[in-house]
Structure 1
């Protein structure tokens, strides 16, 4: 959908979405539930469904969920999604709405858990992410996915994970693979350039004050990197969009890497990912933008027609 039409309806959409979000947060506070759990409850999946869970490694956190369209069509594009939580929290089931929404658009979606601090620290979660990606490439055909159309995506800390897997060959190489398996990657509100670390929760995750310089995605930009779609909330006060999304996009362009950059109003760091749900979709066209990027093979050609929704 054109950006103009979204802007024309932004006032109405904002009122509806804010009211919905306020109700969700209030209900979560009263019931002791996570707001994301409530987003899952009130965001029906339509014809999409979770078809399986599987272990991709030896740790109890090495488990992933797979979502696919109920039609069961084969050779669908595949998206591996990593959630955020500052590397200290998160569960794949909290993001079922992401799996259902993307599967409803005709994609096979994989949502892995990964080890969190204090059980682990940098770079353990990148080893986990690489394991999950390679598991997906080698086994997703059995679930209707096309391993030759594989994308990695994440929000917040998960966008960092996705960026590192797409840009820094070390992690996939350790699993006997390389970033060439990716047709593109998608980052939502990602921290790509955050040294020196200011967030006190993040500091021990990255061994502050001895944080490795090569832990930053912006320092791994290379001409051979896969195309990128970078989405951010214009007024994000958690992860500065100019310093992170803007700087990374600029470096990618200078290296000759195709990159699409989108900034949305009416959302913040947390609600950006919630715009993938049916409940808050009117806040921003995130889902349409992601669908277009994947169907166009990372922007390499005109987007193919989407299945009926």
Structure 2
């Protein structure tokens, strides 16, 4: 047996350079040949399209990435939502991911949303519900298959995408007045997810989002937590999370996975070992590849009829 001291450099290199991962509920084997995704497709981008109605409190925009394909084929789509603590950043953060996904055959709709504290929760969820309806409204124009639309978010964006997926078509008050069963997703990719706000000591970020502390607003914090809305008809989820994430602790991913599985749902979890919250996003290549394979199984990007 090799001395531990001689193994440490290799272990550290694996963690720091290659980003070793641990895959919970990993699929068996490679994708079948019938599900192999297209690669390196040409695409075009329609930028800065306003998706909100004219009377919305703030005009919000989206960028649409469209694969170039022959004929009148319909493709799956992915709605992407950026992070930033519900208070900042922009959809530009998701641009590299959008480009990778569109080259693999997915229409990508990369959206903006309103920020706290100027707009308190659930304003951000309402924005995404409107965006989700807007995608359906343009399904014919963009040749999208309405039955194959997924959500992809990171950090606060993951919280919003997950919540949108789980309250759609339910009796939750969060589904009204802008939601409905057609605001859900066929699959969800959710990274660094604040899944249970009641267990997350995030201080200022949550106070300005919720307009109060968890002690002051326990019911509101519960209802704003995706884990609270897990139900048996949830879409399949692919979660990824840094094992050293000290902003959104790893327990959030474990709790979320357990809640979904307890209701009988399919969940996959990719641990990015040795990664924190920011580094899990910046060095996310392995998670993106696994997410693409996950989507290929759940809603393949092969062409369907018009």
TM-score, normalized by length of structure 1?
Answer: 0.75
Structure with more relative contact order (C-alpha pairs < 8 Å, separation 6 or more): 2
Distance in 2 (alpha carbons) for counterparts of 1:14 and 1:305: 36
How far apart are 1:76 and its partner, in Å? 1.6
Computing the radius of gyration from Cα coordinates, the structure with the larger value is 2
How far apart are 1:113 and its partner, in Å? Answer: 0.5
Measured after TM superposition, the shift of residue 287 of structure 1 is: 1.5
In the other structure, the counterpart of 2:123 is 124
Please point out which of 244, 250, 262 is paired with 2:258. 250
Deviation at 1:125, TM superposition (A): 0.2
Structure 1 residue matching 2:138: 3-state secondary structure = helix
- Report the CA distance between 1:133 and its aligned residue: 1.0
Q: Secondary structure at the match of 1:195?
A: helix
Using the TM superposition, give the Cα deviation of residue 72 of structure 1 relative to its aligned residue in structure 2, in angstroms: 6.4
Say if 1:85 and 1:156, in contact at 8 Å, map to a contact too: yes
Task: Calculate the TM-score normalised by the size of structure 2.
Answer: 0.76
CA distance in 1, matches of 2:45, 2:57: 22
Runs of 4+ in 1 over 6 A off after TM superposition: 303-306
1:155 corresponding residue in structure 2 = 154
Give the Cα separation in 2 of the matches to 1:68 and 1:129.
20
Q: Work out the CA distance in 1 between the residues paired with 2:12 and 2:147.
A: 37
Decide whether the 8 Å contact of 1:134 with 1:172 is kept in 2. no
- Secondary structure of 1:296's counterpart equals helix
Q: Distance in 1 between matches of 2:78 and 2:257?
A: 21
In 1, distance between residues paired with 2:257 and 2:67?
Answer: 32
Superimposed CA distance per residue, residues 236-288 of structure 1 (whole angstroms, 9 cap, x where no aligned partner): 1110112x110110111111011111111243211223345xxxx3xxx1121
The runs of 5 or more residues in structure 1 that have no matched partner are: 1-7, 18-44
Q: Relative to 1, partners in 2 of residues 1:146 and 1:46: Cα closer, same or farther, differing over 3 Å?
A: closer
**Structure 2 counterpart of 1:65:** 63
Which SS does the other structure have where 2:259 is aligned?
A: helix
1:51 alignment partner, SS class: strand
- Give the structure 2 partner of residue 206 of structure 1: 210
How do 1:97-246 and structure 2 match up within 5 A? Answer: 97-169=96-168, 170=172, 171-175=174-178, 177-178=180-181, 181-195=184-198, 198-202=201-205, 203-209=207-213, 210-211=216-217, 212=220, 213-242=222-251, 244-246=252-254
Change (3 A) 1:117 1:193: same
